Structure 1
Amino acid sequence: PFGYGLSYTTYAYSKLKVTPGKNPRVTFTVTNTGKRAGAEIAEVYASLPAAAAEPPKRLVGWSKVKLNAGESKDVAIEVEPKYLSIFNVEQNGWQLLPGDYGFMVGGSSQSLPLKASINLK
């Protein structure tokens, strides 16, 4: 999966907060829980409202976080509306549907320990 690779250390994710708005803001903390310095690709995925009839998650943002052993960093990622939109054939354009959007954060698409939802209108 994207962002997945060999690392000589381990990471933990915490303190997820998603702030609604034109560009939803996803903030969280990444901690290097290992004994070596390393870099983690922190990934943000979103699930769209059921009416979108889309796959269960899509990659909407990421950030490479370099951490020394035991170090923590706060990460903030703004999600552009185009990454949350679907193409409406009838209107011949992109559309951001109103409804509940789920956000998932972790080190790979198969390991997303943080989850939160917001409602966009």
Structure 2
Amino acid sequence: AALLTGARDFAGRLPATFTGGQTPAQLTMSCYKAFDRAHVAPLFPFGYGLSLRAQFSYGGLRVTRDGTRLVVSFDVANDGSGAGRDVPQIYLDLPAGVGDAPKRLIGWRSVQLAPGQQAHLSVGIDAHLLGQWNPGGLEWVVPAGDYAVSLGGHSANLVRQATIHLPELRVPAALGDGAEAAE
């Protein structure tokens, strides 16, 4: 009832990407990566959400390396007239020649902000989200190159970008990745 009366702001996010159609039967869902590969703008992108009164903006995107992790820090502000929850999303573009989708979701953070409030957030990104699994070496391999990190409210609205150059990283499997079976 609080959502319907406007006493509480809606802050849901879509867990999939939806294409358009003339009828509800033609409405289909897919992974955001398929849309990126085809260079097609979806009707409702992955992570899309609506807010009646809260309006969020992003700034101060900074990406640093801490060993085999990336630390992505940024500011998010509520420029709207009401309180609301935002879920800023972080995507990674792999270096040229690495065979994967154009961007990969690597992190997000949920934050509740009052009107006019701003927060500085940091998200740690493990190297296994940056690379590919090497079953022969039982390790994650992150190829050397320039990685673009993007920030936004959903997969089709990435408003801030930063680039970081990484050397090749080899990250041994952690417990739970199958390493204990090889020992």
| TM value normalised by structure 1 | 0.92
Q: Is the 8 A contact 1:12 1:32 kept in 2?
A: yes
Question: Hey, what's the Cα distance between the residues in 1 that align with 2:79 and 2:46?
Answer: 22
Q: What corresponds to 1:112 in structure 2?
A: 158
User: Matched residues in 1 for 2:91 and 2:61: separation?
Assistant: 13
Match of 1:63 among 106, 109, 113: 109
- The 4+ residue runs of structure 1 with deviation greater than 2 A are 87-94
Decide which structure has greater helix share.
Answer: 2
2:62 to 17, 22, 28: 17
1:51 positional shift: 2.6
Query: How well do the aligned residues superpose, as a CA RMSD in angstroms?
Result: 1.6
> Residues 35-82 of structure 1, C-alpha deviation per residue, up to 9 Å, x if partnerless?
000000110000111131211100000000110001000010011101
Q: Which residue of 1 aligns with 2:148?
A: 102
**Residue aligning to 1:73:** 119
More strand by share: 1
Amino acid at match of 1:97: P
Partners of 1:44 and 1:34 in 2: how far apart?
22
Q: Which residue pairs with 2:51 in the alignment?
A: 7
Q: Please state how far the C-alpha of 1:88 moved relative to its aligned partner.
A: 4.5
Deviation at 1:5, TM superposition (A): 1.6
Where does 1:41-52 land on structure 2 (aligned, <5 Å)?
41-52=87-98
- Could you tell me how far 1:101 is from its partner in structure 2? 0.6
Bigger mean CA deviation after superposition, 58-67 or 83-92 = 83-92
1:86 is matched by which residue type in structure 2?
Q
Q: Retained in 1: the 8 A contact 2:147–2:164?
A: yes
Structure 2: tracts of 5 or more residues without a match: 1-44, 168-183
- TM-score normalised according to structure 2 size: 0.62
Seen in structure 2, the aligned counterparts of structure 1 residues 83 and 42 have a Cα distance that, compared at 3 Å, is: same
Q: Which has the larger radius of gyration?
A: 2
Gaps of 5+ in 1: none
Name the counterpart of 2:131: 85
Larger RCO (CA within 8 A; separation ≥ 6): 1
